[in-house]
Amino acid sequence: QSVLTQPPSVSAAPGQKVTISCSGTSSRIENNSVSWYQELPGTAPNLLIFDNHKRPSGIPDRFSGSKSGTSATLGITGLQTGDEADYYCGTWDASLSSFVFGTGTKVTVL
Amino acid sequence: EVQLVQSGAEMKKPGESLKISCRGSGYSFTSYWIGWVRQMPGKGLEWMGIFHPGDSDSRYSPSFKGQVTMSADKSISTAYLQWSSLKASDTAMYYCARQLGGSLSLGRISFDVWGPGTRVTISS
């Protein structure tokens, strides 16, 4: 049972925007950096966002990350069919002495 | 090109041992931590632990401590994850992933390069 809660699914039409929330506690999100991963069907996860809002090279600026208090948010603008995937947040949990992933969110492009 | 190449799919019986591998290339293998992540069928990602091939330092998730062992052979730039006695519940995809940046700051862990995964199936 993950300690980082994400909505099970979000959806929007092509070109629209979706946001995915990642909710935790102070020992997790508030005091540590959050990263976000995209898992396309049948492939390994891919890093989208690190240190709450930074994008690795090669990740388009359609993807954005933010954090406020005990929640983090991934935003995807200009939604494309190729964005259909599972998305996971992750952060260090000091109370568990463990890195933890969120419950995962499936993005569907209508 | 920086990449992690993992060993092939495995089918084992309960009680057997197993060691899967993750070979790094295109970067200084001993300078980056390697993490291991489990994904059970139809489920989410679970962090198992992280290992430093340079000095063999490690951090295990409490959920996996004592259940698996992480190690590495620097001479062939390969990290390993091993089990001494497999259970059916070990059936999963296992990913290795490189920690972004050479140093480990627990509050800033993220994984920038992932292997393709090794599928492990345990069945009698």
Q: Summarize pLDDT for B3-61 with one digit per residue, the tens.
A: 999 999 999 999 999 999 999 999 999 999 999 999 999 999 999 999 999 999 999 99
A31 close to A95: Cβ distance less than 8 angstroms? no
Asked if residue A2 has pLDDT above 70, the reply is no
CATH number, span A9-109 = 2.60.40.10
For B3-101, which CATH superfamily applies? Answer: Immunoglobulins (2.60.40.10)
Q: Which residues of B touch A101 (CB under 8 A)?
A: 37, 44-47
Asked if residue A28 has pLDDT above 90, the reply is no
Question: What is the pLDDT averaged over residues A64-85?
Answer: 96
Q: To the nearest whole angstrom, how far is the Cα of A12 from the nearest Cα of chain B?
A: 22
Minimal Cβ distance to A51: which of B97, B108, B115: B108
Q: What pLDDT score does A1 carry?
A: 58
Q: Which two tokens stand for residue B73?
A: 């052979």
Portion 5-24 of A in contact with B at CB < 8 A = none
Q: Is B53 on the interface with A (CB under 8 A)?
A: no
Domain boundaries, given as residue ranges, for chain A: 9-109
Q: Which two tokens stand for residue B23?
A: 């070979």
CB burial of A29-53 (b: ≥16 within 10 Å; e: otherwise) equals beebbbbbbbbeeeebbbbbbbebe
pLDDT in tens, A77-105: 999 999 999 999 999 988 888 999 999 99
pLDDT in tens, B53-108: 999 999 999 999 999 999 999 999 999 999 999 999 999 999 999 999 877 888 89
Q: Do B107 and A92 touch (CB under 8 A)?
A: yes
A91 close to A24: Cβ distance less than 8 angstroms? yes
Minimal Cβ distance to B62: which of A2, A92, A97: A97
Which 8-state DSSP code applies to residue B98?
A: E
| 3-state SS assignment for residue B59 | strand
Domain boundaries, given as residue ranges, for chain B: 3-101
Integer CA distances (angstroms), B5 to A45, B25, B36, B45, B79, in order? 14, 8, 13, 19, 10
Q: Which residues of B touch A46 (CB under 8 A)?
A: 114
Q: Which two tokens stand for residue A73?
A: 């948010």
Burial of B5 (0-12, 13-18, 19+ CB in 10 A): middle
In whole angstroms, what is the distance from residue A45 CA to residue A38 CA? 5
